[in-house]
Amino acid sequence: MSEISRNDPNARSPKVAIVYGSPSDAQTMSKAGATLERFGVPYEQVSVSAHRSPRTLAEYVDELAARGIAVVIAGAGLAAALPGSVAALTTLPVIGVPITGGALDGMDSLLAIVQMPPGVPVATVGLNNSTNAAVLATQILALSDPGLRALLTAFKDDFEKAAAAGLEEALAPDR
Ligand code: RP5
């Protein structure tokens, strides 16, 4: 059919759509999937380009809300139109991941994704930081899911525990 190769690694209906502009983005975006799996959030992954296949993208985005998708994570590099195009076509929250590469090594995609016009927001995370995109998506879902909220609390507590353990180690007298 198209550039879309839908890959749903979860048995349950996906709540998050991870979309990226090219198969060459798959490795960078794989951290989003791994992070969602850690929280038990079902998701799907799709590669579809805003520039190369705009009509296919529009058809895909049109169906998202009806299929139960609640949040979109969209990653792209170069003249990264994908996250903004998705945001233009849906009222679902869209989290953008600018991806490095090319002559400007990510400055182009960062500005393309973060500088959206008023009324069409894309919540942009750091370059290649699809992990944070997945954490933010989980935080959005947790607004109506106490179980997810508890998992996120434990996730953040782990940072404190690791820091406290490191401090204890550093301050411990020589053994
Ligand atoms: C963007 O162009 C994609 O998101 C990718 O980051 C970049 C290069 O795409 P390919 O030429 O590798 O398909 O649209």
Mean pLDDT within 118-142 = 98
Annotated binding site for substrate: 22, 25, 52
CB 43 within 8 A of CB 72: no
Ligand 1 midpoint to CA 102 (Å) = 9
26-35: pLDDT as tens digits: 999 999 999 9
Residue 77 CA: which ligand 1 atom is closest? 6
Mutation pick for ligand 1 pocket among 5, 18, 25 (CB with most ligand atoms within 8 Å):
25
SS percent in the chain: helix, strand, coil, step 5: 50, 15, 35
Pairing mode, strands 123-124 and 94-99: parallel
Burial 129-153 (b: 16+ CB within 10 A, else e): bbbbbbbbbbebbbeebeebeebbe
The pTM for the full model equals 0.92
Ligand 1 midpoint to CA 100 (Å) = 10
Ligand 1 midpoint to CA 86 (Å) = 16
For the Cβ of 78 lying below 6 angstroms from any atom of ligand 1, the answer is: yes
73-119: pLDDT as tens digits: 999 999 999 999 999 999 999 999 999 999 999 999 999 999 999 99
In this structure, what token pair is assigned to residue 45?
A: 């992954």
CB 116 within 8 A of CB 80: no
